[in-house]
Amino acid sequence: MRFEQQVAVVTGGASGIGRALVQRFVAEGAAVVAVDVVEGPLQALVAEQREKGARITGVTANVALDGDIERMLTAATSAYGRLDVLCNNAGVMDMMTPAADVSLEQWDRVLSINLNGPFLACRRAIPIMLAQGGGSIVNTASEAALRGGAAGTPYTVSKHGLLGLTRSIAFFYGERGIRCNAVCPGGVATNIGLGGAAPNQEGLARVMPVIQAAAPTHVAAPEEIAAAISFLASREASNINGAILAVDHGWSAV
Ligand SMILES: NC(=O)c1ccc[n+]([C@@H]2O[C@H](COP(=O)([O-])OP(=O)(O)OC[C@H]3O[C@@H](n4cnc5c(N)ncnc54)[C@H](O)[C@@H]3O)[C@@H](O)[C@H]2O)c1
């Protein structure tokens, strides 16, 4: 099994891609710390996996808060003694809002979860990984990291920034045993939405035709993204560092 004796932390683990990832890591032998801001579904997943014999810990945490990040990483090292894999996967959409209409609250919310969160987690995970000789980080970016017309401004900026974080960490820490890569999913059938809020009508009218025209009919299952993330996280990808992998059924090839 690819992750035998390894410890993986997955943020956004209660739903969608993160949930599929938690299940995959468990199935491949890892001890897993599943992290989510929503407690009920997280604890249900943990209970379900424990019943099957998994080594799994659930941590209710908001990735935008440094104290919560510290707590989730301490959960990994105190329960399982190490940290091999960090998957910065938690994320929220914006409301398809073009820059001039973005409220500061919306900007802060999306950037703090989608970009500050992965930065805070990497900042604290890297010293742990360096002390044990290495590790692997995989960030869940998006098609919106590759183009300007797949979401509103905050989400697009946050995911472009996440690619910068990925490459910078790959550059600075690759030679010391830490690999950092990113995936850019296209459309995936998950619970991500516009947060219950009304979308920006202008943004929606501009973005939807682009998505409908460019995105092939295939909407991925979360497991298809989890397969790519777990490959990048694994030692099979030992020579892959700083890569940005489109997992979008060809959307970015259009
Ligand atoms: N679904 C898609 O079409 C799609 C496409 C490209 C990229 N993505 C990215 O995939 C990642 C996973 O999203 P998903 O589609 O599985 O959505 P999802 O909503 O099903 O799952 C996201 C999880 O993240 C959690 N979360 C949100 N804010 C959090 C916070 N502050 N702290 C901790 N957890 C938090 C949510 O509670 C949820 O369980 C996101 O980064 C998203 O941007 C999704």
pLDDT digit string (tens) for 192-213? 987 667 899 999 999 988 888 8
Whether ligand 1 lies within 6 angstroms of the CB of 140 is answered as yes
Catalytic choice (119, 155, 173, 251)? 155
Residue 118 lies in a domain: yes
Range(s) of the domain holding residue 78: 7-253
List the chain residues with pLDDT less than 50: none
Whether ligand 1 lies within 6 angstroms of the CB of 20 is answered as no
Residue 248 lies in a domain: yes
Q: What is the pLDDT of residue 213?
A: 81
pLDDT digit string (tens) for 127-161? 999 999 999 999 999 999 999 999 999 999 999 99
Tokens of 201: 């009508």
Residue 226 lies in a domain: yes
Q: Distance, CA 192 to ligand 1 centroid (Å)?
A: 6
Whether ligand 1 lies within 6 angstroms of the CB of 190 is answered as yes
What does pTM read for this prediction?
0.98
CATH number at residue 82: 3.40.50.720
Residue 1 lies in a domain: no
Residue 92 lies in a domain: yes
Question: Is residue 173 annotated as part of the catalytic site, yes or no?
Answer: no
Residue 2 lies in a domain: no
What does each C-alpha distance from 56 to 26, 92, 113, 117, 227 come to in angstroms? 8, 24, 24, 22, 19
Residue 134 lies in a domain: yes
Query: Of ligand 1's atoms, which has the minimum distance to the CA of residue 17?
Result: 16
Residue 50 lies in a domain: yes
Q: Distance, CA 101 to ligand 1 centroid (Å)?
A: 23
Q: What is the pLDDT of residue 178?
A: 98
Tokens of 15: 């739903």
CA–CA gap between residue 198 and residue 96 (Å, rounded) = 10
Outline where the chain has alpha helix (H). 16-27, 39-51, 66-80, 104-111, 117-132, 153-173, 201-214, 222-233
What does each C-alpha distance from 74 to 38, 71, 103, 126, 129 come to in angstroms? 19, 5, 35, 13, 13
Compute, in degrees rounded to 10, the torsion defined by CA atoms 235, 236, 238, 239. Answer: -170
Q: How many domains does the chain have?
A: 1
Q: What is the pLDDT of residue 196?
A: 65
Tokens of 210: 């682009």
Whether ligand 1 lies within 6 angstroms of the CB of 118 is answered as no
Q: Distance, CA 156 to ligand 1 centroid (Å)?
A: 14
